[in-house]
Amino acid sequence: MSSFIRRPGVKAACFALSALLTTITILGIIGFAFCSAQSFYVAGNPYFAESEMARMTVSSMDYSVGEVYSSGGEAKLRQVYNPLYTNLRIRITGEEGETITNYDPETESPAGMEPRVYYYLTDNDTGYRVAETVYNIDSAGEPDWSGFDMRMFTSHAIVMELGVAENMEARDVLYYAGEFYYLLFRLRYPLIFISIAGVILTVLVHAALFAGCGRKPGSEEVFPGWQERIPFDVYLTVFGFGWCILLGLLMEMSELVAGYMTGDVLFCGSIAFLSLLGVILVSEMMLCSCAVRFKSRKWWKNSLVWKFCAWCGRTARRLFAGTFRGAGHLIILESLLKQQLFRGRLHI
Protein backbone atom coordinates (compact mmCIF):
# COMPACT_ATOMS: atom_id res chain seq x y z
CA MET A 1 0.00 0.00 0.00
CA SER A 2 2.83 2.40 0.85
CA SER A 3 4.47 1.75 -2.53
CA PHE A 4 1.18 2.44 -4.30
CA ILE A 5 0.56 5.85 -2.73
CA ARG A 6 4.18 6.85 -3.46
CA ARG A 7 3.69 6.62 -7.22
CA PRO A 8 3.78 10.01 -8.98
CA GLY A 9 0.42 9.48 -10.67
CA VAL A 10 -1.25 8.47 -7.41
CA LYS A 11 0.21 11.47 -5.59
CA ALA A 12 -0.99 13.82 -8.34
CA ALA A 13 -4.47 12.27 -8.18
CA CYS A 14 -4.51 12.62 -4.39
CA PHE A 15 -3.51 16.28 -4.68
CA ALA A 16 -6.30 16.99 -7.18
CA LEU A 17 -8.81 15.03 -5.11
CA SER A 18 -7.79 16.80 -1.91
CA ALA A 19 -8.31 20.22 -3.52
CA LEU A 20 -11.64 19.14 -5.05
CA LEU A 21 -12.97 17.52 -1.87
CA THR A 22 -11.89 20.48 0.24
CA THR A 23 -13.75 22.85 -2.08
CA ILE A 24 -16.88 20.69 -2.09
CA THR A 25 -16.77 20.28 1.68
CA ILE A 26 -16.40 24.00 2.34
CA LEU A 27 -19.22 24.84 -0.06
CA GLY A 28 -21.37 22.11 1.48
CA ILE A 29 -20.83 23.45 4.99
CA ILE A 30 -21.58 26.99 3.83
CA GLY A 31 -24.75 25.76 2.12
CA PHE A 32 -25.80 23.86 5.24
CA ALA A 33 -25.20 26.96 7.38
CA PHE A 34 -27.27 29.05 4.95
CA CYS A 35 -30.14 26.53 5.05
CA SER A 36 -30.06 26.55 8.83
CA ALA A 37 -30.08 30.36 8.91
CA GLN A 38 -33.08 30.41 6.57
CA SER A 39 -34.90 27.85 8.80
CA PHE A 40 -35.23 25.35 5.97
CA TYR A 41 -35.01 22.42 8.38
CA VAL A 42 -37.53 23.85 10.86
CA ALA A 43 -40.04 26.09 9.08
CA GLY A 44 -39.42 24.84 5.57
CA ASN A 45 -40.62 28.07 3.90
CA PRO A 46 -39.90 27.80 0.16
CA TYR A 47 -41.33 31.25 -0.70
CA PHE A 48 -38.41 33.52 -1.49
CA ALA A 49 -40.33 36.82 -1.45
CA GLU A 50 -41.07 36.42 2.28
CA SER A 51 -37.65 35.11 3.26
CA GLU A 52 -34.90 36.82 5.23
CA MET A 53 -32.72 36.66 2.13
CA ALA A 54 -35.25 38.69 0.13
CA ARG A 55 -35.57 41.22 2.96
CA MET A 56 -31.80 41.73 3.07
CA THR A 57 -31.63 42.09 -0.70
CA VAL A 58 -34.40 44.68 -0.75
CA SER A 59 -32.96 46.56 2.24
CA SER A 60 -29.66 47.01 0.41
CA MET A 61 -31.51 49.04 -2.26
CA ASP A 62 -33.25 51.63 -0.08
CA TYR A 63 -30.58 54.31 -0.43
CA SER A 64 -30.46 53.82 -4.21
CA VAL A 65 -34.23 54.23 -4.48
CA GLY A 66 -34.15 57.34 -2.29
CA GLU A 67 -31.35 58.90 -4.33
CA VAL A 68 -33.19 58.29 -7.61
CA TYR A 69 -36.44 59.79 -6.30
CA SER A 70 -34.84 62.79 -4.58
CA SER A 71 -32.82 63.67 -7.70
CA GLY A 72 -35.41 63.08 -10.45
CA GLY A 73 -38.83 62.62 -8.89
CA GLU A 74 -41.54 60.29 -10.15
CA ALA A 75 -40.43 60.32 -13.79
CA LYS A 76 -36.90 59.18 -13.05
CA LEU A 77 -38.11 56.61 -10.52
CA ARG A 78 -40.37 54.95 -13.08
CA GLN A 79 -37.62 55.07 -15.69
CA VAL A 80 -34.90 53.53 -13.53
CA TYR A 81 -37.14 51.00 -11.79
CA ASN A 82 -39.26 49.96 -14.73
CA PRO A 83 -41.16 46.79 -13.69
CA LEU A 84 -40.23 45.19 -17.01
CA TYR A 85 -36.55 45.21 -15.97
CA THR A 86 -36.67 44.85 -12.21
CA ASN A 87 -38.52 42.69 -9.67
CA LEU A 88 -38.27 45.42 -7.03
CA ARG A 89 -41.62 46.96 -6.22
CA ILE A 90 -41.72 50.49 -4.81
CA ARG A 91 -44.41 52.57 -3.12
CA ILE A 92 -43.43 56.08 -2.01
CA THR A 93 -45.52 58.46 0.03
CA GLY A 94 -44.27 62.01 -0.56
CA GLU A 95 -44.20 64.98 1.77
CA GLU A 96 -47.60 66.16 0.57
CA GLY A 97 -49.22 62.75 0.96
CA GLU A 98 -49.07 61.75 -2.71
CA THR A 99 -48.46 58.06 -3.47
CA ILE A 100 -46.09 56.97 -6.22
CA THR A 101 -45.55 53.35 -7.33
CA ASN A 102 -43.62 51.61 -10.09
CA TYR A 103 -46.36 48.98 -10.50
CA ASP A 104 -50.14 48.79 -10.84
CA PRO A 105 -51.63 48.34 -7.32
CA GLU A 106 -54.91 47.02 -8.78
CA THR A 107 -53.35 44.07 -10.56
CA GLU A 108 -50.35 43.23 -8.38
CA SER A 109 -49.76 42.72 -4.67
CA PRO A 110 -46.02 42.71 -3.95
CA ALA A 111 -44.69 40.62 -1.09
CA GLY A 112 -42.64 41.81 1.85
CA MET A 113 -43.51 45.50 1.61
CA GLU A 114 -41.77 47.05 4.61
CA PRO A 115 -42.06 50.81 5.23
CA ARG A 116 -39.03 52.93 6.05
CA VAL A 117 -38.44 56.67 6.27
CA TYR A 118 -35.89 58.25 3.94
CA TYR A 119 -34.56 61.63 5.09
CA TYR A 120 -32.45 63.80 2.85
CA LEU A 121 -31.01 67.30 3.00
CA THR A 122 -30.85 69.64 0.01
CA ASP A 123 -28.93 72.84 -0.60
CA ASN A 124 -31.23 75.87 -0.86
CA ASP A 125 -29.18 77.43 -3.67
CA THR A 126 -28.44 74.47 -5.92
CA GLY A 127 -31.16 72.02 -4.85
CA TYR A 128 -28.60 69.20 -4.72
CA ARG A 129 -28.83 66.51 -2.09
CA VAL A 130 -25.98 66.81 0.42
CA ALA A 131 -26.90 64.21 3.06
CA GLU A 132 -29.26 61.28 3.54
CA THR A 133 -30.26 58.63 6.03
CA VAL A 134 -32.84 55.84 6.35
CA TYR A 135 -34.77 54.75 9.44
CA ASN A 136 -37.23 51.92 9.99
CA ILE A 137 -40.76 53.17 10.47
CA ASP A 138 -40.86 51.83 14.04
CA SER A 139 -37.70 53.62 15.12
CA ALA A 140 -38.02 56.69 12.96
CA GLY A 141 -37.01 59.95 14.60
CA GLU A 142 -35.69 63.30 13.64
CA PRO A 143 -32.41 63.01 11.72
CA ASP A 144 -29.27 64.52 13.15
CA TRP A 145 -28.34 67.45 10.93
CA SER A 146 -26.25 69.12 13.64
CA GLY A 147 -23.29 69.49 11.30
CA PHE A 148 -25.26 71.69 8.87
CA ASP A 149 -26.46 75.28 9.00
CA MET A 150 -30.19 74.75 8.52
CA ARG A 151 -30.57 78.30 7.23
CA MET A 152 -28.78 77.12 4.08
CA PHE A 153 -30.37 73.67 3.76
CA THR A 154 -33.83 72.11 3.73
CA SER A 155 -34.75 68.77 5.28
CA HIS A 156 -37.11 66.39 3.48
CA ALA A 157 -38.75 63.11 4.48
CA ILE A 158 -40.54 60.46 2.46
CA VAL A 159 -41.90 57.03 3.36
CA MET A 160 -40.69 54.20 1.13
CA GLU A 161 -42.13 50.70 0.96
CA LEU A 162 -40.00 48.18 -0.90
CA GLY A 163 -40.99 44.63 -1.77
CA VAL A 164 -40.70 41.84 -4.30
CA ALA A 165 -42.90 41.19 -7.33
CA GLU A 166 -45.36 38.31 -7.15
CA ASN A 167 -44.02 36.69 -10.30
CA MET A 168 -40.33 37.46 -10.73
CA GLU A 169 -39.81 37.63 -14.48
CA ALA A 170 -37.08 40.26 -14.88
CA ARG A 171 -33.51 38.91 -14.81
CA ASP A 172 -32.11 41.07 -12.03
CA VAL A 173 -30.42 40.58 -8.65
CA LEU A 174 -33.65 39.49 -6.99
CA TYR A 175 -34.30 36.90 -9.69
CA TYR A 176 -30.90 35.23 -9.34
CA ALA A 177 -31.06 35.46 -5.56
CA GLY A 178 -34.41 33.66 -5.72
CA GLU A 179 -33.02 30.96 -8.02
CA PHE A 180 -30.14 30.43 -5.60
CA TYR A 181 -32.60 30.32 -2.71
CA TYR A 182 -34.79 27.65 -4.35
CA LEU A 183 -31.73 25.61 -5.37
CA LEU A 184 -30.48 25.43 -1.79
CA PHE A 185 -34.00 24.63 -0.57
CA ARG A 186 -34.08 21.60 -2.86
CA LEU A 187 -30.57 20.57 -1.72
CA ARG A 188 -31.15 21.18 2.00
CA TYR A 189 -31.02 17.48 2.96
CA PRO A 190 -28.32 16.34 0.51
CA LEU A 191 -26.13 19.15 1.89
CA ILE A 192 -26.05 17.37 5.26
CA PHE A 193 -24.70 14.21 3.62
CA ILE A 194 -22.27 16.20 1.45
CA SER A 195 -20.85 18.00 4.48
CA ILE A 196 -20.36 14.86 6.59
CA ALA A 197 -19.05 12.65 3.77
CA GLY A 198 -16.84 15.49 2.52
CA VAL A 199 -15.11 15.91 5.88
CA ILE A 200 -14.42 12.16 6.17
CA LEU A 201 -13.15 11.75 2.60
CA THR A 202 -11.06 14.92 2.83
CA VAL A 203 -9.26 13.64 5.93
CA LEU A 204 -8.58 10.24 4.34
CA VAL A 205 -7.30 11.68 1.05
CA HIS A 206 -5.06 14.14 2.87
CA ALA A 207 -3.63 11.34 5.00
CA ALA A 208 -2.72 9.40 1.84
CA LEU A 209 -1.32 12.53 0.18
CA PHE A 210 0.92 13.44 3.11
CA ALA A 211 2.11 9.84 3.45
CA GLY A 212 3.28 9.81 -0.17
CA CYS A 213 4.82 13.29 -0.25
CA GLY A 214 8.59 13.21 -0.68
CA ARG A 215 8.77 9.43 -1.06
CA LYS A 216 9.41 7.14 -4.01
CA PRO A 217 8.38 3.50 -4.42
CA GLY A 218 10.83 1.10 -2.83
CA SER A 219 12.77 3.75 -0.91
CA GLU A 220 12.51 5.29 2.52
CA GLU A 221 14.67 8.23 1.58
CA VAL A 222 13.10 11.70 1.44
CA PHE A 223 13.34 13.37 -1.97
CA PRO A 224 12.80 17.14 -1.74
CA GLY A 225 11.13 18.99 -4.60
CA TRP A 226 11.50 22.50 -5.93
CA GLN A 227 9.53 23.94 -3.00
CA GLU A 228 11.82 22.36 -0.42
CA ARG A 229 14.88 23.95 -2.03
CA ILE A 230 13.55 27.36 -0.96
CA PRO A 231 14.51 28.34 2.61
CA PHE A 232 11.59 27.56 4.90
CA ASP A 233 11.12 31.07 6.30
CA VAL A 234 11.34 32.63 2.82
CA TYR A 235 8.86 30.03 1.54
CA LEU A 236 6.38 30.76 4.34
CA THR A 237 6.73 34.51 3.82
CA VAL A 238 6.18 34.47 0.05
CA PHE A 239 3.44 31.85 -0.09
CA GLY A 240 1.84 33.15 3.11
CA PHE A 241 1.66 36.64 1.63
CA GLY A 242 -0.05 35.30 -1.50
CA TRP A 243 -2.40 33.23 0.67
CA CYS A 244 -3.38 36.31 2.70
CA ILE A 245 -4.08 38.32 -0.47
CA LEU A 246 -6.37 35.61 -1.83
CA LEU A 247 -8.09 35.23 1.52
CA GLY A 248 -8.67 38.99 1.76
CA LEU A 249 -10.15 39.05 -1.74
CA LEU A 250 -12.35 36.08 -0.87
CA MET A 251 -13.67 37.75 2.29
CA GLU A 252 -14.29 41.06 0.52
CA MET A 253 -16.22 39.48 -2.36
CA SER A 254 -18.12 37.18 0.01
CA GLU A 255 -19.17 40.16 2.12
CA LEU A 256 -20.47 41.97 -0.96
CA VAL A 257 -22.39 38.90 -2.11
CA ALA A 258 -23.75 38.01 1.35
CA GLY A 259 -24.86 41.59 2.01
CA TYR A 260 -26.19 42.13 -1.55
CA MET A 261 -24.27 45.42 -1.59
CA THR A 262 -23.50 45.16 -5.30
CA GLY A 263 -25.64 44.92 -8.37
CA ASP A 264 -23.38 42.38 -10.06
CA VAL A 265 -23.75 39.47 -7.66
CA LEU A 266 -22.79 36.91 -10.30
CA PHE A 267 -19.47 38.63 -11.02
CA CYS A 268 -18.58 39.04 -7.35
CA GLY A 269 -19.66 35.45 -6.67
CA SER A 270 -17.39 34.20 -9.46
CA ILE A 271 -14.44 36.18 -8.09
CA ALA A 272 -15.16 34.80 -4.61
CA PHE A 273 -15.23 31.23 -5.95
CA LEU A 274 -11.95 31.68 -7.86
CA SER A 275 -10.38 33.21 -4.74
CA LEU A 276 -11.55 30.21 -2.73
CA LEU A 277 -9.91 27.86 -5.23
CA GLY A 278 -6.72 29.89 -5.02
CA VAL A 279 -6.70 29.75 -1.22
CA ILE A 280 -7.23 25.99 -1.28
CA LEU A 281 -4.53 25.32 -3.89
CA VAL A 282 -1.94 27.46 -2.09
CA SER A 283 -2.87 25.79 1.19
CA GLU A 284 -2.45 22.33 -0.33
CA MET A 285 0.96 23.24 -1.74
CA MET A 286 2.14 24.62 1.59
CA LEU A 287 0.88 21.59 3.52
CA CYS A 288 2.55 19.17 1.12
CA SER A 289 5.83 21.09 1.37
CA CYS A 290 5.63 21.06 5.16
CA ALA A 291 4.97 17.30 5.09
CA VAL A 292 8.14 16.73 3.04
CA ARG A 293 10.21 19.06 5.20
CA PHE A 294 9.06 17.48 8.46
CA LYS A 295 9.94 14.01 7.19
CA SER A 296 13.55 15.06 6.74
CA ARG A 297 15.77 15.35 9.79
CA LYS A 298 16.62 18.79 11.07
CA TRP A 299 14.29 20.50 8.62
CA TRP A 300 14.72 23.81 10.41
CA LYS A 301 18.29 24.06 9.11
CA ASN A 302 16.97 25.01 5.67
CA SER A 303 16.02 28.56 6.70
CA LEU A 304 17.74 31.90 6.55
CA VAL A 305 17.16 32.51 10.25
CA TRP A 306 18.90 29.26 11.20
CA LYS A 307 21.76 29.94 8.79
CA PHE A 308 22.22 33.42 10.21
CA CYS A 309 22.15 32.13 13.79
CA ALA A 310 24.63 29.38 12.84
CA TRP A 311 26.95 31.95 11.25
CA CYS A 312 26.75 34.10 14.38
CA GLY A 313 27.55 31.04 16.49
CA ARG A 314 30.56 30.09 14.37
CA THR A 315 31.84 33.68 14.44
CA ALA A 316 31.45 33.90 18.21
CA ARG A 317 33.12 30.51 18.63
CA ARG A 318 36.10 31.60 16.55
CA LEU A 319 36.31 34.87 18.49
CA PHE A 320 36.22 33.19 21.86
CA ALA A 321 38.57 30.45 20.68
CA GLY A 322 41.12 33.10 19.63
CA THR A 323 40.69 34.88 22.94
CA PHE A 324 41.23 31.69 24.88
CA ARG A 325 44.30 30.83 22.82
CA GLY A 326 45.73 34.31 23.46
CA ALA A 327 45.06 33.92 27.18
CA GLY A 328 46.80 30.54 27.10
CA HIS A 329 49.88 32.06 25.46
CA LEU A 330 50.01 34.77 28.13
CA ILE A 331 49.85 32.17 30.87
CA ILE A 332 52.73 30.22 29.29
CA LEU A 333 54.80 33.39 28.91
CA GLU A 334 54.13 34.31 32.52
CA SER A 335 55.29 30.91 33.72
CA LEU A 336 58.51 31.18 31.67
CA LEU A 337 59.26 34.59 33.12
CA LYS A 338 58.79 33.30 36.62
CA GLN A 339 61.15 30.44 35.94
CA GLN A 340 63.82 32.79 34.61
CA LEU A 341 63.52 35.10 37.59
CA PHE A 342 63.69 32.20 39.97
CA ARG A 343 66.91 30.93 38.36
CA GLY A 344 68.47 34.40 38.25
CA ARG A 345 69.00 34.30 34.55
CA LEU A 346 66.88 37.32 33.68
CA HIS A 347 68.81 40.59 33.59
CA ILE A 348 66.84 43.81 33.54
Q: For residue 72, is it within any domain?
A: yes
Residues 296 and 308 occupy one common structural domain: no
Residue range 224-251: mean pLDDT, rounded: 88
Residues 288 and 310 occupy one common structural domain: no
Asked if 189 and 36 touch (Cβ cutoff 8 Å), the reply is no
Q: For residue 44, is it within any domain?
A: no
Is pLDDT larger for residue 239 or for residue 323? 239
Residues 327 and 280 occupy one common structural domain: no
Is pLDDT larger for residue 334 or for residue 104? 104
Instruction: Give me the number of domains the chain comprises.
Output: 3
Q: For residue 25, is it within any domain?
A: no
Domain boundary among 138, 172, 206: 172
Residue 247, Cβ neighbours under 10 Å: how many? 16
Domain boundary among 137, 172, 207: 172
Q: For residue 104, is it within any domain?
A: yes
Residues 253 and 291 occupy one common structural domain: yes
Residues 286 and 310 occupy one common structural domain: no
| Per-residue pLDDT reduced to its tens digit, 164-197 | 988 888 888 888 888 888 888 888 899 999 999 9
Residues 87 and 160 occupy one common structural domain: yes
- Whether 30 shows a pLDDT value over 70: the answer reads yes
| Per-residue pLDDT reduced to its tens digit, 274-318 | 999 999 999 999 998 888 888 887 777 777 887 888 788 778 777
Residues 123 and 95 occupy one common structural domain: yes
Residues 314 and 229 occupy one common structural domain: no
Q: Provide the domain limits for residue 262.
A: 224-302
Instruction: Please choose, from the candidates 175, 138, 189, 187, the residue with its C-alpha nearest in 3D space to the C-alpha of residue 53.
Output: 175
Residues 242 and 328 occupy one common structural domain: no
Residues 238 and 317 occupy one common structural domain: no
Phi/psi at 135 (5° precision): -125, 145
Q: For residue 116, is it within any domain?
A: yes
Q: How far is CA 327 from CA 110, 143, 204, in A?
A: 97, 84, 63
Amino acid identity of residue 311, one-letter, is W
Q: For residue 102, is it within any domain?
A: yes
| pLDDT for position 244 | 93
Residues 290 and 246 occupy one common structural domain: yes
Q: For residue 108, is it within any domain?
A: yes
DSSP lists the bridge partners of residue 117 as 135, 159
| pLDDT for position 262 | 47
The Cα–Cα gap between 321 and 330 comes to 14
Q: For residue 293, is it within any domain?
A: yes
Strands (E) in the chain, as ranges, are: 88-93, 99-101, 111-123, 129-136, 153-164
From the centroid of its chain, how far is CA 29?
Answer: 15
- Whether 120 shows a pLDDT value over 60: the answer reads yes
Residues 255 and 309 occupy one common structural domain: no
CB burial string 81-111: b at 16+ within 10 A, e below: bebeebbbbbbbbeeeeeebbbbeeeeeebe
Terminal Cα distance for the chain, rounded = 87
